[in-house]
Amino acid sequence: MAEGFLPINKQEMSDQGISQPDFVYVCGDAYVDHPSFGSAIISRLLQSFGYTVAMLCQPDWRDPDSIAEFGEPRLGFLVSSGNMDSMVNHYTVSKKHRHTDAYSPGGVMGKRPDYAVIVYCNLIRRTYKKTPVIIGGIEASLRRLGHYDYWSDRVRRSILLDSGADLISYGMGEHSIIEIADALDSGMNIKDITYINGTVYKTRDESIIYDAIRLPDFEEIKNDRTAYAKSFAIQHRNTDPILARRLYETYDGSLFVVQNPPASPLTTQEMDDVYALPYMRDYHPSYREAGGIPALSEIKFSLTSNRGCFGDCNFCALTFHEGRIIQSRSHESIVQEAEECIKDPDFKGYIHDVGGPTAEFRKPACKKQMIKGACQDRKCLFPEPCKNMDVDHKDYLALLRKLRKLQGVKKVFVRSGFRFDYLMADKNKEFLRELCEFHVSGQLRVAPEHISDNVLRRMGKPGVKVYNAFVKEFEKMNEKLGKKQYIVPYLMSSHPGSTLDDAIALAEYIRNLGYMPEQVQDFYPTPGTISTCMYYTGLDPLTMEPVYVATDPHEKAMQRALIQYRDPANYDLVREALVKAHREDLIGFGKNALIPPRKMSKSRRSPEHRPSASGRKAGDKNQTIRQKSGGDNQKKTSKMVRRIKNTNQKHSRKKSRP
């Protein structure tokens, strides 16, 4: 028996004196009892309200008997794919299989199926025809209505229909899951639970749907991309718990999927209560022999400070899942959790992060949000910070000061999403000073994403001048403190709106920096984002303006290669892109060239093609970064060149044979 953990098999359930659990939680992740895992929060919260929960983690979906490990639950099954959408977990943006799964024992891939929520629910329905099934988590939440599915390249129905589940608990779920449990416990039929905010239900009786907006029918959005964009815009404007209306979608003229308004945000006291539940803060001991759960290592000593994000980037699903209204824990709650971390034998003195979706957001963007809701047609930070926004780092700064004073704490890092535009809007530079002095260790990761204002506009991000201004402020502050610390930018290729010209402009910007960034990602069209809607429809759903979209895999490969143009493996793609864009001026040995006229190793480049003095200086700085992070691009480049030479020699020998 694993003392303190919820049962993961029938023997542990029996040892805990449970003959029939109230709920069986079916999850695509291995069981980690830590508040960074949604399954842990929901199961512990139900337990705190007197309900028993058995954890059926990563059942063998190929074996119908695996779902019957605990028998039929008294109230129902809860189903989640885990902390990630199962398709994102399994596939890269190029739709290639990933090799590891950080949420499985030992990082082994293949412990969960594609479209895990649908598969698990269908498995349940084969054995338990009438038992209530409630789905939740990121996969169900973002697929709650008709949605574009990148992996099958088509518009799919609401996951509620494809899974055969009875109800979706969308968003973070704490409020709705307790209301659902209490309703079931009172004897209500699951089909009558249609009134709870933060849920989606299905019905054939349109007359029970009140005060609602009827979205375009599913057949219409499936066949008409303009209708899809209009439907998505309505959904995006109804994600606020105060302003949102009830929405519903029609299937075959007689079946209706109804989305109730989002659940209200948690109060500070409610968040404190959630994070004070008796988590074991570890993975189940049965996974130890396999090597544990890799995903736990980085977040085990990280502290969640807040939820929600008023940054509202177009490529981020947070608006759909957590909403724009910030919810935060008290300092006392966070400090208490930090003290629990310090007691852990594995704690080495480093708190890895203090934050949430955006680290420094500790309160709503403005005073009116908690009364009138977040604006439906305006963003708080884009295109410029709203004049009504309350820019203030004092509370977050006070929290960090308390944490770094704790006995046993050597360093408190700030690593979660960091909004440099919010920081630049703060005239008081005290937070920037303490960030550089105490909370950065050599590198600060920030996400400008791109440098083309055309692309940034489609991302919902500030213009590049804001990022450039931040870099100068950061460098000036570090010089004042006598520290050598550098910014590591996250960059994205092929986002809707990005043309080859934009990608080349980004490559030129990188050239002027004097180094090749290692943090690069292709835009990944996941459900629930404005950018994914742009990708599928070619329209900005909020303005209905046409948007250029790079959907061809080869063009996407060229855009990505341009960001890492110095990698010899990317030479052919970069050259092709430059020729296609009529930018042959960037092919040569001049100081402004991106690549030489032919493939060659870095050591053979002529002096005029090497970075300028300022470029070398920046390159030296960033070479230090790469060495600190364990990377050495020069060695990688040399190995790459040797591999290319060896391959060419092999081909030459083959051709010369009779």
Tens digits of residue pLDDT in 199-254: 999 999 999 999 999 999 999 999 999 999 999 999 999 999 999 999 999 999 99
Dist. CA 106–CA 89, nearest whole Å = 15
% residues pLDDT > 70 (the chain)? 91
Query: Is the residue at 548 inside a domain?
Result: no
Q: Is residue 595 part of a domain?
A: no
In the block, tokens 């070619």 appear at 538
User: Model confidence over 579-599: pLDDT tens digits?
Assistant: 999 999 999 999 999 999 987
CB within 8 Å of 651: residues ≥ 6 apart: none
Instruction: Go through the chain and tell me how many residues it has.
Output: 658
Provide the H-helix boundaries in 463-570.
Answer: 464-481, 500-513, 530-537, 553-563
Q: Which of 163-167, 317-321, 441-445, 584-588 has the lowest mean pLDDT?
A: 441-445
State the pLDDT confidence band at 658, using cuts at 50, 70 and 90.
Answer: very low
Judged against a pLDDT cut of 60, whether residue 606 lies above it is answered with no
Greater pLDDT, 331 or 647: 331
Q: Report how far Cα 529 is from the mean position of its chain's Cα atoms.
A: 11
Range of the domain at 253: 10-259
- Of 216, 233, 241, the closest CA to residue 321 belongs to 241
* Helix-, strand-, coil-residue percentages of the chain, each rounded to 5: 40, 15, 45
Number of domains the chain contains: 1
Which pTM value belongs to this model? 0.89
The DSSP call for residue 492 is E
Host H or E run for residue 401? helix 394-404
Residues 368-417 pLDDT 10s: 998 999 999 899 999 999 999 999 999 999 999 999 999 999 999 998 87
Residue at 628: amino acid letter? K
Both tokens assigned to 407: 């006995």
Contacts of 119 (CB under 8 A, 6+ apart): 61, 113
* Separation of alpha carbons 101 and 619, rounded Å: 34
Is position 420 within any domain?
Answer: no
pLDDT on residue 139:
98
- State the average pLDDT over residues 255-262: 98
- Cα 361 to its chain centre, rounded Å, is 17
Strand segments, DSSP code E, in 395-538 are 411-412, 443-449, 486-493, 520-522
Structural domain contains residue 101:
yes
Q: Which candidate, 444, 448, 446, 459, places its Cα nearest to that of 523?
A: 459
Phi, psi (rounded to 5 degrees) for 343: -70, -20
Position 66 in a domain: yes
Task: State the virtual CA torsion across 464, 469, 473, 474 in degrees, nearest 10.
Answer: 10
Percent of the chain with pLDDT over 90: 87
Band of residue 612 on the pLDDT scale cut at 50, 70, 90: very low
Average pLDDT over residues 591-608: 71
Q: How far is CA 492 from the centre of its chain?
A: 14
pLDDT in tens, 66-125: 999 999 999 999 999 999 999 999 999 999 999 999 999 999 999 999 999 999 999 999
Domain holding 132: CATH number? 3.40.50.280
User: Residue 527 in contact with residue 545, Cβ under 8 Å?
Assistant: no
Position 2 scores a pLDDT of: 64
543 C-beta neighbours (distance < 10 Å), count: 10
| Confidence check: pLDDT of 365 > 60 | yes
Closest by CA position to 491, among listed 277, 315, 236, 345:
315
Residue at 641 is within a domain: no
520 occurs within a structural domain: no
- Judged against a pLDDT cut of 60, whether residue 547 lies above it is answered with yes
Distance of alpha carbon 525 from alpha carbon 536, whole angstroms: 9
**C-alpha to C-alpha distance for 83 and 220, rounded to whole angstroms:** 32
End-to-end CA distance of the chain: 70
Contact criterion met (CB below 8 Å) for 520 and 93? no
Residue 283 β-bridge partners:
32
Judged by DSSP in three states, 322 sits in: coil
Give residue 520's pLDDT.
81
Q: Residue 382 contacts by C-beta under 8 Å, 6 or more apart in sequence?
A: 312, 460, 461, 462
Q: What are phi and psi of 366, to 5 degrees?
A: -150, 170
Q: Is position 75 within any domain?
A: yes
pLDDT at 608 over 60: no
The pLDDT, as a whole number, for residue 60 is: 96
Q: Mean pLDDT, to the nearest integer, of 19-47?
A: 98
Axis-axis angle for helices 394-404, 331-343 (nearest 10): 30
Over residues 545-564, the mean pLDDT reads 96
Residue 617 pLDDT class (50, 70, 90 cuts): very low
pLDDT the model gives residue 17: 96
